[in-house]
Amino acid sequence: MTELRLYMAQRLSALVMAPLVLGHIAVMIYAIQGGLSAAEILGRTQGSVLWALFYGSFVIAVSVHAAIGLRTILYEWAGMRGGVLNGVALGICALLLAMGLQAVYAVTAT
């Protein structure tokens, strides 16, 4: 049952990520027209609830997706099992969440 939930969580997080990746790439291409500056980016993102939600949900989806994928690799290739395996995977998820959400906060907070 746990394996099934993890499988579904990884697929659903991929489903969330797909449009966000496309949106992210589209904005990158749009944003670098006429040069790239921190001020320009912050001008767009600071105080924007939309960008906070966009990248906030992106970070959550990535953290869930990557942690489950790495858990499988650690199980199959590094021989990790049981509590150690789940602990490391949770740690990876927490690290990605903390770093990502901090970055989102830094560019969207006013």
11 makes contact with another protein (CB under 8 A): yes
- Let me know: does 60 contact 38? Beta carbons within 8 Å: no
Region at 74 (left for phi over 0; alpha for psi -120 to 50; beta for the rest): alpha
CA-closest candidate to residue 32, choices 23, 43, 40: 40
Residue type (1 letter), 15 = L
Write down the least CB distance from residue 80 to another protein, Å: 12
| Minimal distance, residue 98 CB to another protein, in Å | 28
Binding mask 52-91 for another protein (x = CB under 8 A): -----------------------xxx--------------
Quote the CA–CA distance of 36 and 28 in Å, as a whole number.
10
CB of 78 to another protein, least distance (A): 10
Residues that bind another protein (CB under 8 A): 1-4, 6-8, 11, 75-77
